[in-house]
Each structure stands twice: as structure tokens, then as C-alpha cells.
């Protein structure tokens, strides 16, 4: 059994939908059991979120405009690809109903002047609830017996709105109960990516880019032979091709390498995608919808190819927090209290670095969490600050983490040296660095202004032409 996930650009317009239908057809020739997971059409989730935020800020125009833009966008594809009049009319009614719900939601947000995380999940999940029925109808038009399924019925999550955590047991039970019969009948379930619902049925989302994660969850629950992530690039590359145009496709990666890359900003995979696959040992393939016979990446437990550095990524919109002071030397428990305070505000720490003299601890957190983190630290460490054991808690804004990833870096000397000389030659200042003992990843902090140059320089040092 195969799970095929199509991202936003893969269902971005009529040509893309037609291409997806071909890919699904070919997959069914290889394996009669195919589950499809789809994202919203490209740009739709952003439009929905912006409209809801604008409504909360007192603007009605954006959601009115969004309603007609979204209607046009979906109806255009339906009009061009659904030939059957009854099918087209049925989709017309569905889209109308969805968009009326959208307008009603935005109206309430506008009247209340408030947008809760729970409300935002209802709005932002509408995109997939418009694209999945459309894709199913398009597939039926191509002779593929498809049926769309709302993941709210099968992916059960907690109530962390905006980044809900799936509860595996009920999710797998419901997935099997709902999808297995369809597969047995020879049907192709077309499941909405990105969304789920709490046990009580309240809609949730898995976080931006979460459709990859949806596909991996369903793949694990159904014990799929492969989860395929169909996107707009030929697999996972040595760097983001938007930053490094001559980045190369990686044929094979290990779960650990792919997880590190995704965690440190390689947008091609949602950071949590690998987790369900690892547990069930399911290979993940990343391939290009617009070049289905071209190269692709296979992610497996153990990669056969060697190589030390595999790829370079950058993660933006971060702040580096420094807790520093001579009085910290030898005082036990400062680190523990620091991270307890950070955890208390729910902030995600992406990297930690401590100097050996213990005069400072620094760590990176998302920009959005910075005020809460600083306030929590100032409160937790108030005594040490007033006694000047700790000089200050300092936030350095607009920094990025550059991650150099590759399992083969372990035991290969000189990698860090090459990274630093590449940056040194370009006059790029490294603010902090960290390397885990697993040696799969070297992380460097540089200023946001230097981010793209740093990625290019390091990429050149490992993958560029040899210097003359």
C-alpha cells in the first residue's frame, strides 16, 4: 500500500491537478491500494489566515475579497477538469457551503474583534476541505474511483490549536476503520492533509506545512510500504534551491539526517514527518510532481551511500538569548533553572551553547517567544541579577541558525574547520555554535543579514567546484 501526499503547488492549478491524476494512475498500476493526502491549493491557507487576522483587526474587505478569489480559484479547476455535470454541480454546492461558513466565521471574528487559536484552526483548515473533494472529483473524472475523507474524522489530536499533537491509538483505530473498507473496495481515499480534530470533534491543525505529517501518520497507521511526498522540487537537495540554485538532489538520506534537516528549516518536509515513519520503518520518498520520472530522494533507516556533509539549511526568525555574568561560575543549577523558566512559557529551544568557563549560557528561541522568555528569566533569576551574579539577560534579535548535516560527519575530521574557513574568508561572523555528540549536525548562529551568503559559502566549500 502506498500513501501519496500532494503539496500546495502540486494542486496549485488545472495543469497541476491533471498531473496529479496521472501520478495516482501510475501508482495504482504498481500497487492497487493507494491513499492520497492533499494540501490546500497553493496560497489558500495564507489567504484564509490573513483574512481572519484582518477581520480581528476590524477589516471586512479582505475576507469578502478572499471569498470571491477562493471561489474563482476552485471553480476554475472544477470547470476545466470535471466534465460530468452532476459532479460539477455537487462540487459547486460544496464550495459554496464552505465559503459561506468561511464568511460567517470571519464575520463573528470581526464582530468580536478577537481571533482565538481555536477559531483560527477552524478557518485555516478550510483550504484542505475545499481541495480534497475537488481532487477526488477530478480523479473520478479520470476513471479512478476516489472518495474524499475529512481527516477530522480520523486524525485525533490534543487541543494544542495551531500545532496539535496526534493521539496515535485512536487515530490508528479510526484510520483503519474508515480507510481499510474503502481500500478493500478498490477505492482511493483522498484525505485532507494538515487538519485533525480533538476527541470531542473540535477542529485542529497540525501546524503550517503539516500535510506531510498527516501522510506519515496515515502511512504508519496503515503500515504502508512507502509514503511519497510529491512536491515542486526533485527531492531533498544539498540546500534550498531558492538560495543555492546549483544545489543537487540527494538520492538517499537516513531518517536521522532528514529529521535534522527538516527541524533546521528545510521546508520541503514538515519537521515531525519522520517520527511516525521511523517507528514503523516506512521509507519516505520525496519526488517532483512536475518531473515524476526525474531524480527523487529516498529516506530510509540506513543509507547505503557515504559522504560526510549531506546538506546545509537555515532557520530564520530566531533570537539568541544570553544569560551571562562572572558570578555564574560554579553556581549549580543556573542552567536547570534557566531552561525550566523557558519551558514554563512553552518556548521551543532550537540550540544551546555554553562556554566552558560557565560565564554564559546562550540559546536560540523563535522570535515570537522572545518577550515571554526574557520576562520569565528575569523573574526566575531576579535574585542573582540583583546581586550581580548574573549581569544580564540579553536578547540578540534577527539571528539565524545554519545547520550543516550529515551522518558521515561522525569520525570525519576537519569538517568544522572547513565550515569556519568558508565563513571566515567571506567575512561572516559566527556568533555561537553547537555540535551534538552524535555529530550529525553542526549548528552555527549568524546574523540574519548573513544567512544566505553563509549557506552559499558553506555549500561551495563542500559541493562547489574545487578551488584552483
List residues near ligand ASP by CB under 6 A: 7-8, 39-40, 45, 127, 193-194, 208-211
What residues numbered 400-429 form the site for ligand ADP, per CB under 6 A?
none
Does residue 406 interact with Mg ion by CB under 5 A? no
Minimum distance, C-beta of residue 452 to ligand ADP, in the bound complex (Å): 12
19 binds, among ligand ASP, Mg ion, ligand ADP, none (CB under 5 to 8 A by kind): none
DSSP classification of residue 234: S
Q: In what order do the strands lie in the sheet with 156-157?
A: 156-157, 195-198, 203-205
Binding part of the chain for ligand ADP, among 136-144, 220-228, 239-247, 385-393 by CB under 6 A, reads 239-247
Site for ligand ADP in 15-44 (CB under 6 A): 39
From 239, 361, 402, 451, residue interacting with ligand ADP (rule: CB under 6 A): 239
C-alpha cell, 49: 489566515
Nearest Cα residue to 335 out of 371, 380, 295, 292: 380
Q: Does 193 bind Mg ion (CB under 5 A)?
A: no
Strands 392-405 and 311-324: antiparallel
Task: For residue 224, count CB atoms less than 10 angstroms from its CB and return exposed for 0-12, middle for 13-18, buried for 19 or more.
Answer: buried
What is the grid cell recorded at 377?
Answer: 528569566
Q: List the interface residues with ligand ADP, window 286-315 (CB under 6 A).
A: 311
Closer residue to ligand ADP (CB): 175 or 211: 211
Residue 191 interacts with ligand ADP (CB under 6 A): yes or no: no
172 is a site residue for ligand ADP (CB under 6 A): no
Provide CB contacts within 8 A for 72, sequence distance 6+. Answer: none
271 is an interface residue for Mg ion by CB under 5 A: no
Q: CA nearest 428: which of 466, 462, 400?
A: 400
From the list ligand ADP, Mg ion, ligand ASP, none, partner contacted by residue 194 (C-beta under 5 to 8 A by kind): ligand ASP
The CA-atom distances, in angstroms, between 459 and each of 299, 308, 399, 439 are 21, 13, 19, 18
Q: Return the one option of ligand ADP, Mg ion, ligand ASP, none that residue 363 interacts with (CB less than 5 to 8 A, by type).
A: none
In this structure, what C-alpha cell is assigned to residue 91? 462540487
Could you say whether residue 384 binds ligand ADP (CB under 6 A)?
no
Helix (H) or strand (E) holding 117: helix 117-124
> Residue 9 interacts with ligand ADP (CB under 6 A)?
yes
CB 431, min distance to ligand ASP, A: 30
Return d(Cα 418, Cα 46) in angstroms, integer. 39
Q: Are 38 and 191 in contact (CB under 8 A)?
A: yes
CB 441 within 8 A of CB 260: yes
Closer to ligand ASP by Cβ: residue 210 or 325 = 210
Q: Which is nearer to Mg ion, 210 or 325 (CB)?
A: 210
Strands 351-354 and 311-324: unpaired
240 in contact with ligand ADP (CB under 6 A): yes
Neighbours of 435 (CB within 10 A): 16
Residue facing ligand ADP at closest CB distance: 7
CA nearest to 292, candidates 245, 375, 233, 377: 233
> Residue 388 binds what, of ligand ADP, Mg ion, ligand ASP, none (CB under 5 to 8 Å, by partner type)?
none
Asked if 162 and 121 touch (Cβ cutoff 8 Å), the reply is yes
Options 132-140, 207-215, 233-241, 284-292: segment touching Mg ion (CB under 5 A): 207-215
β-bridge pairing 252-254 and 297-300 = parallel
Q: How far is the CB of 49 from ligand ASP (least distance, A)?
A: 9
CB 432 within 8 A of CB 394: no
User: Which C-beta is closer to Mg ion: that of 12 or that of 209?
Assistant: 209
Least separation in angstroms between CB 289 and ligand ADP: 8
For residue 323, give the 3-state DSSP assignment. strand
Q: Which of residues 3-22 bind Mg ion (CB under 5 A)?
A: 7
Distance separating alpha carbons of residues 456 and 363, to the nearest angstrom: 24
Q: Of Mg ion, ligand ADP, ligand ASP, none, which one sits near residue 193, judging by CB under 5 to 8 A according to partner kind?
A: ligand ASP
Q: Choose, by CB under 5 A, the member of 12, 141, 152, 209 that binds Mg ion.
A: 209
Site for ligand ADP contains 268 (CB under 6 A) = yes
Rounded to the nearest whole angstrom, what is the least distance from the CB of residue 35 to ligand ASP in the complex?
16
From the number of C-beta atoms within 10 Å of its C-beta (0-12, 13-18, 19+), residue 335 rates as: middle
Q: Tell the smallest beta-carbon distance from residue 132 to ligand ASP (Å).
A: 11
User: What is the grid cell recorded at 133?
Assistant: 473533494
Q: Give 119 or 408: the residue with its C-beta nearer to ligand ADP.
A: 408
Q: Which is nearer to ligand ASP, 211 or 297 (CB)?
A: 211
Residues that bind ligand ADP (CB under 6 A): 7-10, 39, 209, 231-233, 236-237, 239-242, 266-268, 311
Residues that bind Mg ion (CB under 5 A): 7, 209
Amino acid at each position: 500500500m502506498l500513501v501519496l501526499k500532494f503539496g500546495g503547488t502540486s494542486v496549485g492549478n488545472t495543469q497541476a491537478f491533471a498531473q496529479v491524476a496521472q501520478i495516482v494512475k501510475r501508482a495504482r498500476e504498481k500497487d492497487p491500494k493507494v491513499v492520497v493526502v492533499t494540501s490546500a491549493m497553493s496560497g489558500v491557507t495564507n489567504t484564509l489566515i490573513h483574512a481572519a487576522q484582518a477581520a480581528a483587526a476590524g477589516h471586512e474587505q479582505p475576507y469578502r475579497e478572499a471569498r470571491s478569489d477562493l471561489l474563482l480559484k476552485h471553480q476554475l479547476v472544477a470547470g476545466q477538469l470535471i466534465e460530468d455535470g452532476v459532479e460539477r454541480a455537487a462540487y459547486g454546492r460544496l464550495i459554496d457551503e464552505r465559503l459561506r461558513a468561511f464568511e460567517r466565521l470571519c464575520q463573528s471574528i470581526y464582530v468580536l474583534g478577537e481571533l482565538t487559536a481555536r477559531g483560527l484552526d477552524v478557518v485555516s483548515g478550510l483550504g484542505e476541505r475545499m481541495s480534497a473533494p475537488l481532487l477526488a472529483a477530478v480523479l473520478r473524472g479520470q476513471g479512478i474511483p476516489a472518495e474524499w475523507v475529512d481527516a477530522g474524522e480520523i486524525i485525533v489530536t490534543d487541543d494544542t490549536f495551531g500545532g496539535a499533537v496526534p493521539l496515535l491509538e485512536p487515530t490508528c483505530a479510526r484510520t483503519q476503520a474508515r480507510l481499510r473498507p474503502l481500500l478493500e473496495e478498490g477505492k482511493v481515499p483522498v484525505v485532507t492533509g494538515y487538519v485533525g480534530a480533538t476527541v470531542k470533534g473540535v477542529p485542529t491543525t497540525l501546524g503550517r506545512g503539516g500535510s506531510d505529517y498527516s501522510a506519515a501518520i496515515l502511512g504508519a497507521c496503515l503500515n504502508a510500504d512507502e509514503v511519497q511526498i510529491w512536491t515542486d522540487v526533485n527531492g531533498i537537495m544539498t540546500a534550498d534551491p531558492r538560495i543555492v540554485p546549483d544545489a543537487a538532489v540527494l538520492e538517499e538520506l537516513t531518517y536521522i539526517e532528514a529529521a535534522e534537516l527538516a527541524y533546521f528549516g528545510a521546508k520541503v518536509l514538515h519537521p515531525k514527518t519522520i517520527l511516525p515513519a521511523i517507528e514503523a520503518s516506512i521509507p519516505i520518498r520525496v519526488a517532483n510532481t512536475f518531473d515524476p520520472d526525474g531524480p527523487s530522494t529516498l529516506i530510509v533507516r540506513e543509507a547505503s551511500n557515504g559522504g560526510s556533509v549531506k546538506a546545509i539549511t537555515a532557520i530564520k526568525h530566531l533570537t539568541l538569548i544570553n544569560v551571562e555574568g562572572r558570578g555564574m561560575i560554579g553556581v549549580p543549577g543556573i542552567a536547570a533553572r534557566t531552561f525550566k523558566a523557558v519551558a514554563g512559557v512553552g518556548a521551543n529551544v532550537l540550540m544551546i551553547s555554553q562556554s566552558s568557563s560557565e560565564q554564559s549560557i546562550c540559546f536560540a528561541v523563535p522570535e515570537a517567544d522572545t518577550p515571554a522568555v526574557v520576562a520569565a528569566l528575569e523573574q526566575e533569576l531576579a535574585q542573582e541579577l540583583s546581586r550581580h551574579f548574573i549581569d544580564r539577560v540579553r536578547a540578540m534579535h534577527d539571528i539565524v541558525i545554519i545547520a550543516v548535516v550529515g551522518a558521515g560527519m561522525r569520525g570525519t575530521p576537519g569538517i568544522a574547520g572547513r565550515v569556519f574557513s568558508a565563513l571566515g574568508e567571506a567575512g561572516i561572523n559566527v556568533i555561537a555554535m553547537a555540535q551534538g555528540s552524535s555529530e550529525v549536525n553542526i549548528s552555527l548562529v549568524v546574523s540574519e543579514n548573513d544567512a544566505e551568503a553563509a549557506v552559499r559559502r558553506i555549500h561551495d566549500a563542500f559541493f562547489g567546484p574545487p578551488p584552483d
